[in-house]
Structure 1
Amino acid sequence: MYTLSEAQGLPEHLVGAESRRLGRHANLMPHAFVIPSGFEEGFYRHNNLPPQLSALFAAVRPQRIDEDLLEPLCLQAVALILGSALLDDQVQQLYLALRNAELGSGPVHLRRPGARRSQLAQARAPGPEVLHALKRLWADDWAFGVVLERLDTAGSVALEAAPVLVVRGDAGQPDTEMATRLKAARAWVNAEGLVGLE
């Protein structure tokens, strides 16, 4: 896990381009951190998910997509992600990052840097609600519409692990402590062409 200040100097594939840019203004968002892409990779590897997902979608032909076949497979993939467990070390890393960012209670917003799909958790220490929101965010990658879009654009159901940005507040209704900082941040967020935190 990385603070936004740390993310500024890290590779884009690890923390995301948006997180790196946010790092230049980390003082505006002190209650935030980045879950690196390697965290998701570890989750997939530990649960042997790549071969399971590959076998699940083996009958899907990108050249001629059968949506009636694809939809139940996506439901199974979502269930597979949600039913898989994080290693205890990963769980403790997440809980520690939440404590360090003072996100142990209240609304916590999780999303991929540069993406609009997100999850909201009402955190209570040590943070299991945030952990479940993170798994829901990962599972969203296997929703029917998202998989169909990957097939249309990339010709495959495969996806790369990606970082997750964790900030205080709801994407639409930030808490009062963050409201002023987010208002100030929106000006430069929009100027740099980032996906807004609004």
Structure 2
Amino acid sequence: MLTLAEAARFPESQVGAETHRLAAHPDRVPAAMLIPPAFEEAFYRTANLPEQLSRLLAPINPARLDEDLLEVLSEQAQALVRTSSLLDDAVQVLYRALGNAGLSAGEVHARRPGERETEAARVTPPGTAALHAVKRLWVRDWTFGALLTRLDATGSIGLEARPTLLLAGPPGVPDARVAAELGVGTALVNPLGLVGLP
């Protein structure tokens, strides 16, 4: 788990370009942290999800796509990810990081750097609701639309783990004034401050 300042020391390819942009405005961004791709990757690996998902989605033929079948299998894939558990050690690491980042109480939202879709939660210590919001965000990678997009773009349902941002407060909304001040096209702001530069 990384603060935005720590995350900015890593290449954009590992933490997302938006993470670097947000880290450049520490006075404007409320409590935040970045869950590195390795954490998500460990969840998939320890729950044996790559093999299970591969087996589940094996009937999908990208060359002759059956969208009805894809829809049914995407729901099963989402259920598989949703019902898989993180190891207790990983959960405790996340809870400690939430506490250290000031995100273990109040409203938070999870989002992938560079994307607008969010999952929000109202958190009480130790942070179970935040963990559930993160998992709901990860489950979105297995929706019909996400699978179809990957098949169209790469011809594969395969997926690389990606970073996840956790930010204080509700999801941000576009603020033209802040965007103009920062010289960017879009700035997402919530009552606590700047929460997005997608």
- Matched residue, 1:177: none
How far has the Cα of 1:15 moved from its partner? 1.6
Specify the SS of the correspondent of 1:10.
coil
- Matched residue, 2:76: 76
User: What amino acid is aligned across from residue 151 of structure 1 in structure 2?
Assistant: L
Deviates more, 1:92-101 or 1:39-48: 92-101
Specify the SS of the correspondent of 2:74.
helix
- Matched residue, 1:67: 67
Output the CA distance in 1 between the equivalents of 2:109 and 2:18: 15
CA-to-partner distance for each residue in 1:108-137, whole Å, 9 max, x for gaps?
Answer: 010000011110011111000011111110
Output the CA distance in 1 between the equivalents of 2:187 and 2:139: 21
Within the alignment, does 1:155 sit opposite 2:188 as a pair? Answer: no
Within the alignment, does 1:6 sit opposite 2:9 as a pair? Answer: no
User: What amino acid is aligned across from residue 15 of structure 1 in structure 2?
Assistant: V
CA-to-partner distance for each residue in 1:73-115, whole Å, 9 max, x for gaps?
Answer: 0011000001111111211111111111111111101000001
Output the CA distance in 1 between the equivalents of 2:163 and 2:119: 14
Output the CA distance in 2 between the equivalents of 1:50 and 1:188: 44
CA RMSD of aligned residues (A): 2.0
Specify the SS of the correspondent of 2:64.
coil
User: What amino acid is aligned across from residue 158 of structure 2 in structure 1?
Assistant: A
Specify the SS of the correspondent of 1:28.
coil
CA-to-partner distance for each residue in 1:128-173, whole Å, 9 max, x for gaps?
Answer: 0011111110001001111111111111111110000110111147
Output the CA distance in 1 between the equivalents of 2:181 and 2:80: 39
Output the CA distance in 2 between the equivalents of 1:185 and 1:107: 22
Q: 1:124 to 1:185 in 2, by over 3 A?
A: farther
Output the CA distance in 2 between the equivalents of 1:89 and 1:188: 43
User: What amino acid is aligned across from residue 144 of structure 1 in structure 2?
Assistant: F
Q: Where does structure 2 lack aligned partners over 5 or more consecutive residues?
A: 189-194
How far has the Cα of 1:27 moved from its partner? 2.9
Specify the SS of the correspondent of 1:34.
strand
Specify the SS of the correspondent of 2:125.
coil
- Matched residue, 1:117: 117
Deviates more, 1:161-170 or 1:10-19: 10-19
- Matched residue, 2:170: 170
- Matched residue, 1:24: 24
Q: 1:188 to 1:131 in 2, by over 3 A?
A: farther
Q: 1:183 to 1:192 in 2, by over 3 A?
A: closer
Specify the SS of the correspondent of 1:141.
helix
Q: Where does structure 1 lack aligned partners over 5 or more consecutive residues?
A: 174-181
Q: TM-score by structure 1 length?
A: 0.88
- Matched residue, 1:126: 126
How far has the Cα of 1:188 moved from its partner? 5.9
User: What amino acid is aligned across from residue 133 of structure 1 in structure 2?
Assistant: A
Output the CA distance in 2 between the equivalents of 1:48 and 1:13: 25
How far has the Cα of 1:24 moved from its partner? 1.6
Output the CA distance in 1 between the equivalents of 2:178 and 2:94: 25
How far has the Cα of 1:12 moved from its partner? 2.3
